[in-house]
Amino acid sequence: MGDNAFVGDVSFPFWTIVFFMLFTGLYYIFRLFVSGIVSAVLSTVPAFFLFFLLKDLSAIPVLLSSMVFGVALRLAIHFIPSREKKLLYAVILLDIVVIGLFIGKSSFTGENLAEKVMCICLVTLTLSAVQTLFFEKNKASFPIYYFLIIALVTLIVPMKKEPIDWNKVVDLGQRFVYRIESIASDVSYRFASSFGDSYTAGYSSFTSTGKKITEGERTQLIIESKDAPYYTYLDEATGKNTKLRKTLYLAGGRGTEKAQFAEFIAFLYANGTDRERALTFTEVSNIDLEYAYIDTKDVIVPSRALLVTEGEKKVREGVSEKAHRKGYRISVKYLDIDYASPELIAMFKDAPTELPELTYDEACNYVNELWGMRFTDIMSRDEYDEALAQIKSGTKREYLNVTGVTPELKELADMVTAGAEADYDKCRLLEDYLRQYTYSKDAVGGYNPESNMSTAEGMADIAERFLFDTKKGYCVHYTSSMIMLLRLSGIPARAASGFRYAFPFDRKEKYEVSSGCAHVWPEAYIENVGWIPFEPTGAYYALSGTSWHRSGANADDAWTAEYHGGINPYDSNGVSAHVDEEEEEEKVSALLAFKVFLPTVVFTVVIIILLVAGIYLIKILHYRYGTPRQKLFYDVEQIKKSLIKRSGGTLTDRGLLSEFTEAAPESMREELGKVFDVFYRVVYGNKESEPTPEENALALEMRNRLGGRG
């Protein structure tokens, strides 16, 4: 039975029962300290805590919906007037329905265990309800509404072959939850903007100066993808399937670079690349992107974006006329490339001296042959002709601008790239050299405080100070340095600004890209190949140092397998993650228990402790600052409770204080009688009659001696 069948059959009602029982149990715990109404409301407070624990947990998709219905049912039952009688009528109605189904539809015949259990629960509920109605002084020890949810399930659980479809109810609950989450998030966003809430880390285009940054964790983008966030390969050393985590580079202000894709197609064609070979280092992926706490005119999309749409409209430009704020959504089709593939690296090193001029029709056929997609969806005939003209023009002069560099920087570029023949080899040598520098967010920018990455002069200033002075920095410093060193080596280079997001190993419906993922990286232009990204920043793995481990023999299988995407095969310790499916299921279960139930228990215990401490503090303050009359009444009430407790329950409060005097230890009876006399005098005397300080002190002494210190 698949997951959907499980959801439609038992998952939703089961978890609804669990949550209803949880909040009912909390109600009875809280009722020990506060009134019934307050306890009912207070018992649902943990639901808000659970909401934030469950909203990103996709192991059981109906949890949030079940919790919403469980909370609603719990509150509804408490606030039903004369609920005992109404529940009894509901039970009688259920009994009639069951009998009717038994006679008319041959249901509830006891042929399976489920029918027997449901009938037994209904009978128990009926007896409990009848007992509650006719023997009010001896109400059932187990509350009636514990059985109500079972009765409802009895009525609606299918007793035929086709299971009931809970999907509509689940969808309703999920829409309700999403709406609450959306409203809460929007309010937070508006308030943050109104009060000038700011953070240093985050998407900032090319205005970064390289100064010290404070890393933020505010969500800037939300990614939705049906693809797995990883894929696997067989580790020959261990014989185990190894998961490869996908890492996504999202660039702002680029949009879909038609010329880049057209040039890459021609590059593959020139190398005689067929489908089997292409799928060893490329694949087409799709994601949906939503802007969160970000306000920019830039359209932020994965590198190598092929098609960007906003609803039904194509987004052609990388920068819009107006700023995109929270809620802006786009869908992106992009080409994912394994830049560490030995097959592809060999092609980079031996780049063709000239690219073939494919006609539009030839390009359409070739793209369909390689990836099975329609090229006409990517670009029109006119757009393709324009892309070819751009490739032929070869105008990369702006990306060779070295304004502001010093002779020392030129000497360094020559030294590092000495002996390299191919441009790609020069790029790799520079990348490896820069990765030796210390990564630190506690850094400084260029010698000129105004220097930033928007100009060649600004990047040169940042690079000079980083390479020869401070020798520590973050992505701004590494990227500025590599771009200037590449240009000094005769290779056009540019910076990409956006985000670097490493997907988790577990699937989610949504992935949040925080401001801490903001990143810049360099791209080098290799003649007759196109723009190639590099990762000189020492804190991250180099794109040229990892591989998808695909070969021609398994490329087509990988294309359709569950595990596919980009990669980061290293965990925080730099070790490949060997995880089989059974181990993963165990981890999901452990994660569910650890992330949800343990924090909920702790949170509930904290509420109880605060509640008890608050009540105790209120009693102390109420007694300390109360009138002499109030203090006397409280002391007498505590004395009576202590004596009832001492009697083991044989003494009851019938309004006669003399009975309490007789129940007290003989040594205390005389003084206790005096306290009770004062009590009668204050209650039945004139309104101005008040106990003296000595009388209050005596009452307090008697309470303490009997142990009534509450």
The Cα 666–Cα 544 span in angstroms is 92
Q: What is the CA radius of gyration of the chain?
A: 36
The CA angle 677-678-684, to the nearest 5 degrees, is 85
The string of pLDDT tens digits covering residues 494-528 is 999 999 999 998 888 899 998 889 999 999 999 99
Percentage with pLDDT > 90 across the chain: 36
Average pLDDT over residues 342-356: 93
Q: How confident is the model at residue 8, as a pLDDT?
A: 39
**What is the pTM (predicted TM-score) of this model?**
0.57
> CA-to-CA distance for 640 and 647, rounded, in angstroms?
11
SS3 of 238-295: CCEEEEEECEEEEEECCCCCHHHHHHHHHHHHHCCCCHHHHCCCEEEEEEEEEECCCC
The two tokens of residue 336 are 């994912």
Residue 236 has pLDDT above 80, yes or no: no
| 66-80, 197-211, 452-466, range with the lowest pLDDT | 197-211
Inform me whether the pLDDT recorded for 366 exceeds 90.
yes
More confident residue, 197 or 129: 129
DSSP 422-483: SHHHHHHHHHHHHTTSEE-SS----SSTT--TTSHHHHHHHHHHIIIII-EE-HHHHHHHHH
Report the C-alpha gap between 315 and 259 in whole angstroms.
Answer: 16
Out of 321-335, 372-386, 589-603, pick the least confident. 589-603
Closest among 479, 576, 564, 550 to 521, alpha carbons compared = 479
pLDDT above 90 for 614: no
pLDDT higher than threshold 70 for residue 61: no
Banded pLDDT at 133 (limits 50, 70, 90)? low
Average pLDDT over residues 285-297: 90
Is 70 exceeded by the pLDDT of residue 7?
Answer: no
Domains of the chain by residue range: 3-170, 219-579, 626-705
Residue type present at position 23? F
CA 24 to the chain's CA centroid: 28
Which residue type sits at 437?
Y
pLDDT at 696 over 50: yes
Q: 22: closest CA among 74, 81, 61?
A: 74
CA distance 258 to 268: 16
Looking only at the bridges linking them, the beta strands covering 300-302 and 319-324 are unpaired
> Over 50: is that where the pLDDT of 376 sits?
yes
- The more confident residue out of 673 and 434 is 434
- 163 has a pLDDT exceeding 90: no
- Residue 140's pLDDT is 42
**Can you say how many angstroms the Cα of residue 307 is from the centroid of all Cα atoms in its chain?**
27
How far, in Å, CA of 677 to CA of 683, rounded?
10
| 526 membership: H or E segment, kind and range | strand 518-526
What DSSP character marks residue 529?
T
More confident residue, 495 or 546: 495
The answer to whether 187 touches 193, Cβ cutoff 8 Å, is no
Structural contact between residues 435 and 536, judged by C-beta atoms closer than 8 angstroms: yes
- Residue (of 606, 603, 631) closest to 690 by Cα position: 631
pLDDT tens digits along 411-470: 999 999 998 989 999 999 999 999 999 999 889 999 998 999 999 999 999 999 999 999
d(CA 31, CA 39): 5
* pLDDT, tens digit (0-9, with 9 covering 90-100), for 258-274: 999 999 999 999 999 99
Q: d(Cα 632, Cα 690) in Å, to the nearest integer?
A: 9
C-alpha span between 406 and 487 (Å, rounded) = 13
Residue 460: what pLDDT? 96
Residue 278, Cα to own-chain centre: how many angstroms? 35
Instruction: Find tokens 């997001």 and name the residue.
Output: 501
The continuous run of DSSP H or E covering 500 comes out as: strand 493-502
Residue 657 phi, psi dihedral angles, 5° rounding? -70, -20
Q: Which residues neighbour 436 within 8 Å (Cβ) at sequence distance 6 or greater?
A: 538
In a 3-state reduction of DSSP, which class is residue 195?
coil
Residue 532: beta bridge partners? Answer: 524
Residue 53 has pLDDT above 80, yes or no: no
Reduced to 3 states, what is the DSSP secondary structure of residue 70? helix
Q: By the 8 A CB rule, do 488 and 464 touch?
A: no
pLDDT mean over 69-90:
71
- Tell me the average pLDDT across 188-196: 40
Angle at 250 between CA 247 and CA 254, to 5 degrees: 150
% of the chain exceeding 70 in pLDDT: 72
Nearest to 477 by CA among 510, 513, 512, 434: 434
Distance CA 156, CA 164 (A): 8
pLDDT of residue 217 exceeding 90, the answer is no
Q: What is the mean pLDDT of residues 586-593?
A: 52
Under the banding of pLDDT at 50, 70 and 90, the label for residue 115 is: low
Contact 43, 26 (CB under 8 A): yes
Average pLDDT, the chain: 78
Q: Which residues contact 74 (CB under 8 A, 6 or more apart)?
A: 20, 23, 24, 27, 40, 43, 44
In this predicted structure, what is the pLDDT of residue 560?
45
Q: Is the pLDDT of residue 3 over 50?
A: no
Residues 290, 95: Cα–Cα separation, whole Å: 51
At 435, the amino acid letter reads R
Higher pLDDT, 668 or 141: 668
> Does residue 609 carry a pLDDT above 70?
yes
80-89: average pLDDT: 67
